[in-house]
Amino acid sequence: MTKSQVSESDVPYLTVTVERRNYGRRYTWLPVDTLDQQSFTILCNNTYMRPHMYDLQHGDTVRWKHNGGYLQGTISQIERTEQQLCVRLADVDPLPADFVEL
C-alpha cells in the first residue's frame, strides 16, 4: 500500500471531551477531523451538523488521549465558517499518569 492509499483502519479515530466550568460535561468522545496541541477542526461537509450547532465556548476545558496519556487545554478561540469549525487551544498540559476519564 502506498502512502496515498491509506485504509480507513490506518487512520486514527480522533475524539475530544469538552467540559464547561460550573456546568459540567458538554461532549464525551466528540469526533474531530484534525487534532494537535494547538487546535482541532471539525469538518461539516456532507453532514447534518453545522459549525454553529456545536456548543463550544471560550474557556471550555478540552481533554484527549495522546501517546498513552491525556492532554488538557482550554479553548482560546473559535472560528466558524459555513463548512468548518476551528478551535484554538491554550495552556495545553499533560494530565497526571494516574488520571482516569469517567
Number of domains in the chain: 1
Whether pLDDT at 11 is above 70: no
Q: What is the pTM of this model?
A: 0.85
- Residue 2 domain flag: no
Strands (E), the chain: 15-20, 24-31, 34-35, 39-43, 61-66, 69-80, 84-94
On whether the CB atoms of residues 64 and 35 are closer than 8 A, the answer is yes
Q: Is pLDDT of 99 > 90? A: no
pLDDT in the model for residue 12:
74
4 in any annotated domain: no
Cell numbers 478551535: residue: 87
The domain that holds 22 is classified in CATH as: 2.40.10
Non-local (6+) Cβ contacts of 32 within 8 A are 14, 15, 16, 40, 41, 42
Q: Residue type for 12, please?
A: P
Give dist(CA 30, CA 87) in Å, integer: 13
Is 3 within the bounds of a domain? no
Is 66 part of any domain? yes
Structural domain for 41, as ranges: 12-94
Per-residue pLDDT tens for 24-72?
A: 999 999 999 999 999 999 999 989 999 999 999 999 999 999 998 999 9
Residues, the chain, total? Answer: 102
* 99, part of any domain: no
